A and B are shown apart, each in its own frame.
Chain A
């Protein structure tokens, strides 16, 4: 190094650029597709080092524990540089997230634009508070042969038909499997669309006026009781997000609303997961949208958003990294490893080859475009997040199936919503 170089280093108090080792700490959920985590921790970490000179420290933790981590990191002003947020969590931390407008808009413009649901959770006003990563989609995984055997060659497209099919299947010991419990993913993934499909909604479009106490909501609760009793596995009242996967793969339920992880796991281990006839179970699994009700047909997708923390001193590196990992060739590596478990956050990924690789997974391609978010017809804001984390909508149905009068269950939930929305 020249004398001038040393002088410059001493004058600026900074090490020369080539000697700096940039490190990024990225916290994500433990993926339901383990191969994707292996790819990120292995190949992509190496590529990142080579392409950007960034030492990527990827930490995967249980999804239910991420919020505790975010809270402690924000309150102490110290922790991971990037945290993957699920659902509408970014809306809870708007004041503590770095401005990602430039990065998100650049990626969005280059890749056909974001789905509205991805944009809704990742923006506060006109500012992007995160970079949408992907969208987790739910469809009903069902045993084709079992539905055929009871006279349904196609999956029932209305709730009445599903109740009828479920009743017949339950009599055979293989009911509909659905969580109606306190867990972050599956219970809301089913019961919010159930509410919407009857025309019910939490609040009016102004996002303030509680609109839950309606004829439509009451009808949805009344319909839920016989549906649950006739067609569903009662164990769902205590299931977590992995319970339905286990139940389906062990052949104790005939269908369940879930991501593609059941099918992917069954396909990965054809010798382990087999039908009663000794054939690989994955060949008997199909996917269908949740049935429609008098108010329409919906689903609740789970947007994933990378939140760059405002306290992070590596925000420039984080932006550089997010641009790089969202570049088409790099993101495609991860997207392919998901095999259809998630959709892209932008429309570009609808055309990816992953959707033609396996027709059984192809229906997942359309999930984000047909999705609604919690808090409908208002935005998926802090109040909507509170309703969701308190499981108010879920418990409205749970109380009814446990014997509370539907009117009382709706009144209880409405009271809770009014208290949360401050009216």
Chain B
């Protein structure tokens, strides 16, 4: 092979031309923007758009495991409409999400306000708060399962030794419908509060302390300062956090799968666990996909309402 010097006049010219053309393209904001967006588009396409489209495709067929189905229109949704267990899962999911998210917000805000103060060991405490969020959900939920075990519950053990309950009326945490729902909400709150606390803490730290000081000088009490300064300024951040939390809680699977399997008698069945039971347990992939897809319009509504509200608070 003959060697062509890159310093040769013709080589220098061609290299400069190439560099020039690339630079020209990159200097065009539209192309440069597209280039920056490409990795995100690829990731979203592969891991969000493709599964979503595949889910829609599955939901309108009668595909079962290993058997490609044919188009059946909205048949799967009609079946779900008449399915008692599905209706129960819808109600359970809405209740679970509403209660868990509200409690997470209240506790997260409280924790964030505490962590925003100056005290010794503040950094270590902030790191420790994140522990429930860091531990893999399945692992921590198994620990909770032991704590809620009807026979070996450490909670019951403590209550028993404090003489607050007797062996005969030990608390059946996961066996009584309302207690089972309470238990899964407790675990979800335990796991989700750190996310709220740390995110809200970040929001609190963006609030100029001079505003608080000025209000204090003007005689505003702590609650008034919170009500009229902290909360309005924290609201946009709070809404974004709520948005994430609602989406995650609505699609929760692991906590219920490990703790109750949807029982007793489907009283803790959620969208995701029921979709799994139908799609995987029974092999009815299309119906499982239809259940998963049924989350979409509800979540879409929630997201639209929240995004509109966020925009309103930002432009107000």
Query: Which A residues are closer than 8 A to B by beta carbons?
Result: 67-68, 70-71, 74-75, 92-93, 95-96, 173, 180-183, 233-240, 243, 246-247, 250, 252, 310, 382, 385-386, 389-391, 395, 398-399, 402, 412, 415-416, 419
Contact with A along B276-310 (1 / 0, CB 8 A): 11111111110000000000000000000000000
A235 lies within 8 A of B150 (CB): yes
**Contact with B280, one of A71, A399, A415 (Cβ below 8 angstroms):** A71
Asked whether any CB of chain A lies closer than 8 Å to the CB of B132, the reply is: no
A395 lies within 8 A of B266 (CB): yes
Q: Which positions 139-194 of chain B face chain A at CB distance < 8 Å?
A: 148-152, 167-168, 172-177, 180
With the chains together, A37 CA to B148 CA distance in Å?
Answer: 30
A415 lies within 8 A of B151 (CB): no
A389 lies within 8 A of B264 (CB): no
The 5 closest A-B pairs by CB, nearest first: A235-B150, A96-B66, A237-B175, A238-B174, A182-B261
With the chains together, A131 CA to B57 CA distance in Å?
Answer: 35
- The interface residues of chain A lying within 8 Å CB-to-CB of B264 are 180-182, 237-238, 398, 402
Nearest chain B CB to A124's CB is how many angstroms away? Answer: 13
B280 lies within 8 A of A182 (CB): no
Asked whether any CB of chain A lies closer than 8 Å to the CB of B245, the reply is: no
With the chains together, A234 CA to B174 CA distance in Å?
Answer: 10
Nearest chain A CB to B128's CB is how many angstroms away? Answer: 31
**Contact with B84, one of A240, A389, A398, A416 (Cβ below 8 angstroms):** A416
A416 lies within 8 A of B85 (CB): yes
In the complex, how many residue pairs between chain A and chain B have their CB atoms under 8 Å apart?
117
With the chains together, A242 CA to B293 CA distance in Å?
Answer: 34
Q: Which positions 5-40 of chain B face chain A at CB distance < 8 Å?
A: none
Nearest chain B CB to A397's CB is how many angstroms away? Answer: 9
- The interface residues of chain B lying within 8 Å CB-to-CB of A395 are 263, 265-266
For A68, A74, A235, the residue with the greatest tally of chain B CB atoms inside 10 Å of its CB is A235
B265 lies within 8 A of A238 (CB): no
- The interface residues of chain B lying within 8 Å CB-to-CB of A92 are 64-65, 282-283
**Contact with B151, one of A75, A96, A235 (Cβ below 8 angstroms):** A235
Asked whether any CB of chain A lies closer than 8 Å to the CB of B262, the reply is: yes
Given known contacts A182-B261, A237-B175, A386-B284, A70 and B152 CB-to-CB distance under 8 angstroms: no
- The interface residues of chain B lying within 8 Å CB-to-CB of A93 are 65-66, 283
Asked whether any CB of chain A lies closer than 8 Å to the CB of B67, the reply is: yes
Query: Which B residues are closer than 8 A to A by beta carbons?
Result: 64-67, 79, 82-85, 148-152, 167-168, 172-177, 180, 260-266, 276-285
**Which chain B residue has the least Cβ–Cβ distance from A310?**
B66
A234 lies within 8 A of B261 (CB): no
B150 lies within 8 A of A239 (CB): yes
Nearest chain B CB to A95's CB is how many angstroms away? Answer: 5
- The interface residues of chain A lying within 8 Å CB-to-CB of B148 are 238
B65 lies within 8 A of A181 (CB): no
**Contact with B79, one of A75, A250, A419 (Cβ below 8 angstroms):** A419
B149 lies within 8 A of A182 (CB): no
B66 lies within 8 A of A415 (CB): no
Nearest chain B CB to A155's CB is how many angstroms away? Answer: 22
Nearest chain A CB to B169's CB is how many angstroms away? Answer: 10
A74 lies within 8 A of B149 (CB): no
**Contact with A237, one of B85, B263, B281 (Cβ below 8 angstroms):** B263
**Contact with B175, one of A234, A391, A416 (Cβ below 8 angstroms):** A234
- The interface residues of chain A lying within 8 Å CB-to-CB of B276 are 68
With the chains together, A105 CA to B260 CA distance in Å?
Answer: 41
Nearest chain B CB to A212's CB is how many angstroms away? Answer: 15
With the chains together, A372 CA to B242 CA distance in Å?
Answer: 51
A390 lies within 8 A of B152 (CB): no
**Contact with A412, one of B79, B84, B152, B280 (Cβ below 8 angstroms):** B84
A70 lies within 8 A of B65 (CB): yes
Nearest chain B CB to A243's CB is how many angstroms away? Answer: 7
Given known contacts A237-B263, A247-B151, A398-B265, A389 and B177 CB-to-CB distance under 8 angstroms: no
**Assuming A237-B174, A412-B84, what are 17 further A-B pairs, CB within 8 angstroms?**
A67-B280, A74-B66, A95-B66, A96-B66, A181-B261, A181-B263, A182-B262, A182-B264, A237-B172, A238-B172, A238-B174, A238-B180, A243-B150, A386-B282, A390-B282, A415-B84, A416-B84
With the chains together, A183 CA to B79 CA distance in Å?
Answer: 25
A71 lies within 8 A of B65 (CB): yes
**Contact with B65, one of A96, A236, A389, A402 (Cβ below 8 angstroms):** A96
With the chains together, A246 CA to B150 CA distance in Å?
Answer: 11
